[in-house]
Amino acid sequence: MTETILVSVTGLDGPGITAGLLHILEDAEAGVLDMEQVVIRDRLNLGILISLDGGMSPLKDLLYFAWKRGIDIDFEVVDPPDDAPMPPRFAVTVIGETLHPGSLGGVADAIVAGGGNIERIARLSKYPVISYELLIVGGDLPRLRTELIRASSAHTVDIAIQREGLRRRAKRLVLVDVDSTLITDEVIDLLAAEAGTSDEVEALTARAMAGELDFEEALRKRVALLAGLDASTFDRVASAVTLTPGARTFVRTLHRLGFSVAIVSGGFTGIVDRIGAELGIDHAFANELEVVDGVLTGALVGRIIDGPGKATILTDLAASEGVPLDQTVAVGDGANDLEMLSLAGLGIAFNPKPVVGAAADTSVNVPYLDAILFVLGIRREEIEDADRLDPR
């Protein structure tokens, strides 16, 4: 008679424990049906699902081995695995400046309410933010998303949910908004300060980003307020721009993973191209200010990059790179980013305006751009190891 047995091992970890257990099972001609191991602070938690024919004598050998190594071992006879189709699986990422037990408990409650069950938890980072990845089995994606959004709001943490599988790991192209995303500034506000029209321009910018004003109309009105600026202003403004914390790490890590990284902006090529060159960005897209005899005329040249324009750039760029749209990531904060966020395989609202946060499936509200790497399932330790091996 064949028995299916779950072997559970706990205790102080050390070299050779897993190998020793598996050699005993091999000698007993046991079958290994499943196995999972995690070590937390040198404490081993190992589960091996085995099948045994012809008696339980190998369990005595396992007990003796455990006694010699000073670890605990337990056995449970369970039902054999069935051939039923796998239930849906989801990856839930939880990010916060701090994550208290109550916050994590609220996330767990939301998963239960959505019909899912937590199968595995792994810590992704402990600084500059704390983040965990939870592997969820079962549940309904819309219900899970609704419940997790409620938990995110109630506990002031960021929560992202994605279908687990190959496509999640197959992302190859990232398109990032520039103003208030890749950088902390709004470039047009910096130019307006040089022109002495800050108040008028900032008011128009705020209304456009909140979705209260048509983007192209607002852009043309703001650009008109820059008329008369010397083109050399671009150099001063570019040197004054502040990258969002973690931006260099974000771009560097994505490049190491083989991603193409593009930036897109409703701002201007005179600044965006300089930022792209500094970070080694693969593609940069922005509006172009008209310059005549070294002076800004207050007009624009060529097509306008607004919300639909950003979505078109994502589509065209994915096609030119040979990347399906469901393998793309878009990151932005304003109303003119909504179309590209909804079009991408993974759209992430980064410290978004309220209208964007309410519409986006995934939001990251911490001030570190590299926190987005955790949503992609990348661990902080992996980032640091890569920096040590290749300190560029």
Catalytically annotated residues: 177, 179
From 154, 103, 147, 99, select the one nearest 123 (Cα to Cα).
Answer: 99
Residue with tokens 């496509």: 167
Q: Decide: helix, strand or coil at residue 42.
A: coil
Residue with tokens 């060159």: 277
Q: Are 19 and 5 in contact (CB under 8 A)?
A: no
* Torsion, CA 162, CA 166, CA 167, CA 173, rounded to 10: 110
Q: Report DSSP letters for 239-271, one per residue.
A: HH--BPTTHHHHHHHHHHTT-EEEEEEEEEHHH
* Residue 254 token pair: 């994505």
From 298, 295, 302, 297, select the one nearest 285 (Cα to Cα).
Answer: 302
* Residue 7 token pair: 């072997």
